[in-house]
Amino acid sequence: MQIRTIDAELIRKCFLGGANALDAKKDIVNELNVFPVPDGDTGTNMTMTIMSAAREVAALPEKPDMKPLCKAISGGSLKGARGNSGVILSQLLRGFTKSIQDQKEVDSTSLRIAFDKAVSQAYKAVMKPKEGTILTVARAGSEKALEMEDRTDNLVETVNAVLIHMEDVLEQTPDMLPVLKEAGVVDSGGQGLLYFLQGCYDVLLGKEVNTELVQEQQDKPAATGEDSGKDIKFVYRTGFSIIIRKKISEDKEESFKSYLDSMGEKVSCTSDGKTMKVLLDTNDPGLILGRAMRFGALTQISIINLKDDEPAGQTPASAEAVNEAKAEEKAPEPEQPEKLPHKTNAFISVSAGDGISEIFRDLGVDVIIEGGQTMNPSTEDILTAIDRIDADHIFILPNNGNILLAADQAKSMSKDQDVRVIRTKNIPQGVASMLGFIDGVDPDDNETAMNEAAEAIIEGEVTYAVRDTQVDGHTIKTGDIMGISGKRIEAVGTDIVDTTVDLLNKLMTEETELVTLYYGEEASEEQAAKIAAKIGLERLDVEFEIQYGGQPIYYYFISVE
């Protein structure tokens, strides 16, 4: 098959086909994560990133020009990027589209250059790139494309050779990262990227590939008069399924349904004990998805902007007619949050749990972004928080290592404000950094002091395993309790109290003076007191503080000082 050039329309179809391919395989990508923690996983983050761009691409006319197509892919993915894997994917797309945006058609030469620009752009976004990751797999593809320069001008041959080489390198990633080898998996981000590109390639080959938005077709009801125009109160029709990790009590299920009722309308929530299906209209889909992840893994996520949808039963109009109609009568945007009063220094913190959020507010945080471990906020979520603030200096506390790149990306996209990202990788570091801030001090000095305060503490987390695996010398079974510190699993057991005590004994040193336990929604103050008592019998010199965090999924966040 000979294809020497591709136009914007074919690139559009390839992109949508690739997005759907990644969406279909996201659960497989999630299963490749080394740490079996119930967080926002790689497959979910990459899919939500790509679908943010796919929604903007799908809204373009069927035969778009190259520049608006590239803008939709780049802008949509940059704003929707979630997690480090999602940010890297968005940067790959940014570099690729920036390279081709001024061309009418892409040939083999311009494709090779675009691959190279994509990889260069992604590497710039990561401060300390590691071999054996999505970056390695992407770079392998770029290098193979350059090798094909003197061999063929057929795009099919070039892309086929690129994909074969990328797959070979992906299989080698366990030899580059020992943690992958121990767990017996390849790099999840690299696998997600390969699924996306394979979907693009299938479209290029002319295979029967769905290039409509699969997510936007799921559970999509027929539009009615009340769902159109200016009368829409809740903008986003949100649907998803929860694969339930353990039995949900009637009280918790009713509480969740009441929460859904308070967040929107037209609520449907059904469960067979293994899967819960949810559909509602809301203005806050991100908050709802974060709350839902307390019960298990999310799948079949669908978020539809009702104000952008054409009413069902209407004869499809031409792109020009649709654009003219939108220009004449555009539905009002959702009400924007009120701008906060001007101040010298302002703070944004990612948080999970009402107790943790209250602690941050008491410490002076101005805007709380709900999410954290349960649902990594997107770059756009962080930009929205920045837009609420009127301050000379803004300090962002990501409080999760998987949100750092999204925060950095939001900083780079916020050109008119002094934004500083504090390198907090967990909640205890976030609390410590706020305590390290000194009012009236130069912002550069405060940024340094906050980072130093975060690094000075030893932190830990206690949660449960969502899959069988082997990592850090531990053989872990689904449902086991895990004590984690940094990027290592330090303790594994079947009892929350005993595993937490085991973790603390490994974290404390002879110099330890204070331990703070933030207990989550599935723990209790009494349980935390029992943990403190067990440690206190041998360490009378250590003071314990017990605070309510209310965080989902994690029984405890721990700070050791």
- The per-residue pLDDT for range 350-403, each reduced to its tens digit, is 998 899 999 999 999 999 998 766 578 899 999 999 999 999 999 999 999 999
- The rounded Cα 133 to chain-centroid distance in angstroms is 17
CA distances from 486 to 422, 458, 558 (A): 17, 9, 11
Q: How confident is the model at residue 255 (pLDDT cuts 50, 70, 90)?
A: confident
Question: Measured between alpha carbons, how far is 112 from 142 in angstroms, rounded to an integer?
Answer: 7
Place of tokens 């003197």: 150
pLDDT, greater one: 284 or 147: 147
Whether the predicted pLDDT of 215 surpasses 50: no
Structure tokens belonging to residue 391: 């301050």
In 439-530, DSSP assigns E strands to: 458-464, 469-471, 474-476, 481-485, 488-493, 514-519
Q: How far apart are the first and last CA of the chain?
A: 65
Question: Measured between alpha carbons, how far is 196 from 35 in angstroms, rounded to an integer?
Answer: 23
Q: Are 497 and 527 in contact (CB under 8 A)?
A: yes
Q: How confident is the model at residue 217 (pLDDT cuts 50, 70, 90)?
A: very low
Where does residue 413 rank: exposed (0-12), middle (13-18), buried (19+ CB within 10 A)? middle
pLDDT, greater one: 339 or 50: 50
In 401-444, DSSP assigns E strands to: 419-421
Q: Collapsing DSSP states into helix, strand and coil, what is residue 271?
A: strand
> What are 404-456's pLDDT values in tens digits?
999 999 999 998 899 999 999 999 999 999 999 999 999 999 999 999 999 99
> What are 299-353's pLDDT values in tens digits?
778 888 777 644 333 333 333 433 443 343 343 444 556 789 999 999 999 998 8
Q: Collapsing DSSP states into helix, strand and coil, what is residue 352?
A: coil
Task: Please state, rounded to an integer, the average pLDDT across all residues of the chain.
Answer: 87
| pLDDT value of position 326 | 39
Provide φ and ψ at 128, rounded to 5°: -130, 80
Rg, Å, the chain Cα set: 24
Whether the predicted pLDDT of 222 surpasses 90: no
Question: Measured between alpha carbons, how far is 553 from 559 in angstroms, rounded to an integer?
Answer: 18
> What are 453-502's pLDDT values in tens digits?
999 999 999 999 888 888 888 999 989 999 999 889 999 999 999 999 99
| pLDDT value of position 337 | 63
